[in-house]
Chain A
Amino acid sequence: MSAPLTSLDRPNSYIGRSVPRPNAKRLLVGRGRYVSDLRLPRMLDAAFLRSPHAHAKIVAINTEQARALEGVHLVATGEDLAKICTPWTGTLDHFKGMTSAPQLPLPLDRVVWAGQAVVAVVAESRAIAEDALELIEIDYEDLPVVVDIDRAREAGGPLINPGSVNNTCFRAQLDNGAVDDAFAHAAHVVEEEFSFGRHTAVTLEPRAIVSDYDPAADALTVHHATQTPYQFQDLYSRHYGIPEARVRVIATDIGGSFGMKLHVYHEDMAVVGLSILLGRPVKYVADRIESFVSDIHARDHRVRARMALDAKGEILAMDVLDLTAIGAFSTYPRTSVVEGNQVIRLMGAPYRFKNYRATLEVIFQNKVQTSQYRAVGHPIACAVTERLVDMAAAKVGLDPFAIRAQNVIADDAYPQTSPTGYRFEALSHQACLKRLHEMMGYEALRAEQADLRERGIYRGIGIAAFVEITNPSPAFYGVGGARISSQDGAILSLTPSGEIRCLISVTEQGQGTEAIISQIVADQLGLAQEHVKVITGDTEVTPHGGATWACRGAGIGGETALQATRVLKRNILEIAALILQEQPSALDIIDGEVVDAVTRNQRMPISEIARIAYFRSDTLPPGTQAQLTVSHHFAPQGYPFAFTNGIQGCSLEVDVETGFIKVLKHFIVEDCGRVINPMLVDEQLRGGIVQGLGAALFEECRYSETGQLMNGSLADYLVPMPMEMPDIVIGHVETPTADTVLGAKGVGEAGTAAASACVLNAVNDALTPFGATINSIPITPTKVLKALKRF
């Protein structure tokens, strides 16, 4: 009956255990504390008048009537806010030669995309503020609109930024090995041009901010629905000239973020300025259409790529041109260049070829800006690579599994450096491939596919291997001059009643940060998880750190918690040893009790140590100063990034009459290193996959020729619904990173990274009998029918 004992059988072993999130109960009973719920005394509401033009000169603004409306407290234009806010520029030094125009909260003389906020109104209610917007008159003078990527690149065409020589934001080239030679001697070359639709995060809670400036104290408190409170503390301090210690950013519950809520938005900066001008709290919550026209978009790419292979199907080289259009300027402070940079550096990442060349061109246009959204760049690189691999397999006459098995970097060949410059510590492509093959029941799926084809039912099977960037070091942003931390900090206390309080810089967006931190602390200290309280998201109380983005919460935040807990445990045992007249090394802690390390006999509860240290220090030996609060920081060292890997599989059916695609089942085998909470890891994978499936099949921000967003509502912009989504089968391989004690890497983006590539391959597989191919995402019914020449 009894299974063999594992590490999970020792007391308080929480690392590797599926436990529910303690903080989820509040959310289930309607007790979330979202910024959109917040009302402060004397709070006012802001609303913004937006540009109807994609590119126009602002000739005159008349706000007289709006100012006169009862209940309106302030009408502010670009000029009003420019007096108190310094401009920002979305460039980073390590992207050599990149340019972008300086930005202000509201524009002074020119609008550069349709939907850009132009005038702010602050009133006693949002409704009154919106009434006032209707009383504002703005005279615009149209300027030439540049929407299309080709038009933007035309020599002598209209310029987005006056004074610049062209519409190029950034250009980069990579060239390693002997690419021309490899292509010249290749037995097979496959080549394709791919296009990827712009899409956006669509968090269910739109962006929300309440800024509360107190002129008496010259202190700013901003309740900000963001992943990165420390980054915003720094930015609000520097751009509004308030000392950092007097700026507090509080990030409480947040209704989804996915990378979208860590960028500087003009409205958010404006709201801070409005509260400074008024000396009162000002709230702004984007409505849904405002979200669509002002949240960052992502993944607007066109990629031409080719791959060279030898006669046996060995990949020899890749040659890639990636064009990406990013809007009228680069987003601050993380730029709009990182995505393209990751596209060209993640190409071909699972495979062992050494000859690689890529050109990246990042181009301005009159649309809202793009920037980092979940799985930054990965889905593009993965779709291009994996589609070319499938095309190559067909050409060479290999099965998709076979060509990958032949070309992936062997699991025992690490460490490796990719031809794009990434250093891989240890990945597990071979193990993942093998596992996926079993999990899918691949042979049976293929047999079923063949049978069904006879009956006119067209199923497709697609697989896609991926590599994901996690645990970023300062190589990501710090080296470029951004004040974005790659380290995290924790303050850990034994409370007087013997519980643990952990203040930590990583933040919670629902993925379970607080849960896994409490698991790690409980596990490492030796007490029940319910006795650990984790506090996040308040710059006034939690130490400065990177917070949560780019899959760093578990890997870096978790290691911070682990190391901090070990220090606190040592301090607790030192006091215990004095009281018990033992050596600290002879003692341990289990279930909140100090025990004899060898016999496990209970000696005294840690609550008793806390009582003595806090209230009866007179009974401790002279000179003893109990340190029952520790602060500890951890910055990743060793590899610049902890790469993870995995492979996804998809089975779907294409209705060749209607073009509709039904995803039947989706599979993933993923290796994120040490798994802290299997249930939460699986939920990250499932959620990520569904966002990737949305991109593959539905999601696209569609623009008119005049730069108007045509589908800016949740009825028109399609996000995946339950009935369209499949059940998802998950498998794990665990290759912990040796750079940390914990060994955890990130997992938040793995699902999104390869899901669209998988669907692209599966749809093309389904269409094979028709000789039809698809090279564009999202794969809409129209595109399917066009490929089939039925539309």
Chain B
Amino acid sequence: MSGFDETLLDDADETVRVRFVVNGRKVACEVAPRETLVDCLRNALELTGTHAGCEMGACGACLVQLDGRAVHSCLMFAVQADGAKINTIEGLTESGVIADLQAEFHHRNALQCGFCTPGMLVNAHELLSQIARPSRDEIRDALSGNYCRCTGYEAIVDAIDAVAKARKESGGGT
């Protein structure tokens, strides 16, 4: 590359290699230090089921499961997730762990535009893994970091309530 000023590319070039287990598969990618986890998941890994709604941890659209807990992927840099196990809506779907939630959301139309839905499901999954049979108030409280502008929330609460009940009755749940 004769005649090319290499220093011009210094900033653009500065990346860090990170490795995680995403949806059960080992993944390595080069990220800029300032790149958030949500951008890394959506852009480099093409996992566009995770959404960016507010980029400040208020709306919950970007929730993913990181080392077993629901985490705002917009509030983390990708480099901070190095070494973590991450499950996104795509992986949670594939493994079948939220299939009953998804079916109940569908059955009750607990979504309209669907933009909040993946984050809503990640949070619902976390809630039901901690409290097997939450009250409606507990469900509403737990979901209060997930904004939905379309549904008015009631069908979402109904769907989670119904799944909790069904899991309990079938002897499942924790």
Contacts and interface: CB of A to CB of B under 8 A. Distances in A.
Interface of A: 20-21, 24-32, 34, 36-37, 39, 70-71, 127-128, 201-206, 253-258, 287-288, 509-512, 679-680, 683, 686-691, 713-715, 719-725, 727-728, 751
A97 to B, nearest CB: 36
B111 A510 contact: yes
Contacts of A205: 51, 53, 113, 115
B90 interface: yes
Interface in B30-45: 32, 34-35, 42-43
A201 B109 CA distance: 21
Contacts of B9: 70
A287 B141 CA distance: 27
Given A687-B149, A715-B58, A728-B152, 13 more contacts: A24-B105, A24-B111, A25-B106, A29-B102, A32-B48, A36-B52, A127-B32, A203-B149, A683-B152, A687-B112, A687-B152, A719-B147, A721-B143
A127 B31 CA distance: 13
B111 A28 contact: yes
A254 B117 CA distance: 13
A26 B140 CA distance: 25
Contacts of A728: 152, 154
B143 A722 contact: yes
Contacts of A680: 109
A70 B11 CA distance: 9
Contacts of A751: 152
What 3 pairs across the A-B complex have the smallest Cβ distances? A30-B49, A27-B114, A255-B115
B29 interface: no
Nearest to B9: A70
Given A25-B106, A32-B114, A687-B112, A204 B59 contact: yes
B147 A204 contact: yes
B144 interface: yes
B34 A255 contact: no
Interface in B82-102: 88-90, 93, 102
Nearest to B107: A20
Contacts of A20: 106-107, 109
Given A28-B121, A253-B114, A714 B149 contact: no
Contact of B113 (A29, A127, A255): A255
Contact of B115 (A256, A288, A719): A256
B56 A715 contact: yes
Given A687-B151, A725-B152, A30 B115 contact: no
Contacts of B47: 30
Contacts of A511: 112, 150
B78 interface: no
B112 A509 contact: yes
Interface string B112-124: 1111111001000
B48 A687 contact: no
A288 B112 contact: no
Interface residues of B, number: 60
Contacts of A719: 147, 149
Contacts of B34: 127
Given A713-B54, A723-B140, A510 B152 contact: no
Interface of B is mostly: loop
A255 B11 CA distance: 34
Interface in B65-83: none
A721 B148 CA distance: 8
Contact of B109 (A71, A683, A691): A683
A537 to B, nearest CB: 13
B157 interface: yes
Contact of A204 (B53, B102, B121, B140): B53
19 contacts: A20-B109, A28-B117, A28-B121, A30-B49, A30-B90, A30-B93, A32-B49, A36-B52, A127-B32, A205-B115, A255-B115, A256-B115, A679-B108, A722-B140, A722-B141, A722-B156, A723-B141, A723-B144, A727-B154
Nearest to A666: B152
A26 to B, nearest CB: 8
Contacts of B153: 686, 690, 720, 722, 725
Contacts of A679: 108-109
B137 A258 contact: no
B1 interface: no
A719 B32 CA distance: 33
A128 B14 CA distance: 13
Contacts of A258: 149
Nearest to A684: B112
B54 A714 contact: yes
B113 A254 contact: yes
A21 B151 CA distance: 14
A30 B155 contact: no
A128 B12 contact: yes
Contacts of B156: 722
A686 B151 contact: yes
Nearest to B103: A28
B102 A28 contact: yes
Contacts of B152: 683, 686-690, 725, 728, 751
Contacts of B108: 679
Contacts of B118: 30
B114 A255 contact: yes
A204 B112 contact: no
B12 A512 contact: no
Nearest to B112: A510
A254 B144 CA distance: 23
Contacts of A689: 152
A30 B112 contact: no
B69 to A, nearest CB: 19
A468 to B, nearest CB: 17
Nearest to A20: B106
A396 to B, nearest CB: 35
Contacts of B52: 36
Contacts of B149: 201-204, 256, 258, 687, 691, 719
A727 B136 CA distance: 10
Contacts of B42: 37
Contacts of A723: 137, 140-141, 143-144
Contacts of A204: 51, 53, 59, 61, 113, 115-116, 147-149
A270 B137 CA distance: 46
